[in-house]
Structure 1
Amino acid sequence: MRSPAGRDGRQVSAAVPIDPFRHSRGPADAPIVVVEYADFQCPYCAQAAPVLHEFAEMSEGQVRLVFRHFPVFDIHPYALTAALAAEAAGLQSRFWEMHDLLFARQDRL
């Protein structure tokens, strides 16, 4: 079986997850999907993260929260590195633990 081709026509490694909902909380069949675009160094994103998590948890299976990286590295110099750290944790099935840790310790980035 061949690996899928990327936008430039080169083969993409099958080991890299391509699922558009790769980093998500809540049931896959939830009728409401909230997509969060966040920067791990943004103070407003840090404030919103626990609220969105609670919203998804309290929805009784009606909401799925999907995380997307949006590092604004020209303003937040450590945002891209933090996003890469979260992705590395995700490869070990620990994305959400790293997500929560990065926001909780944002002052230490």
Structure 2
Amino acid sequence: MVTFGHDGARLAVLPETARGILEEIMKTRAREYKSDFARRYVAEGEAKGEARAILLLLAARGIEVPESVRVRISETTDLSLLDSWVRRAGSVESVEELLDPR
């Protein structure tokens, strides 16, 4: 049985040509979430992913992250701030330097 996408929707009932066209459209089409509900949860997921990346990068570099800083990073929802921390996490020598707004 053929499945498509992350939700495992079944496309086996479609003719092969139609299924192929639909799969190509879905691969290339930008998905824009219309509802505030969906946008909020997508943004939360992005923030959690960025926070996780920061903490993993710091850990990989052997930089100690106190629990209070771990919580602060994990609870931050400002994507532009998280982006700046991700960029800086590769070069800072301490979490204090990371969090310094300069």
TM-score, normalization: structure 2? 0.30
Larger radius of gyration: 2
The structure with more helix, counted as a fraction of residues: 2
The structure with more strand, counted as a fraction of residues: 1
Of structures 1 and 2, the one scoring higher in RCO (CA 8 A, sep 6+) is: 1
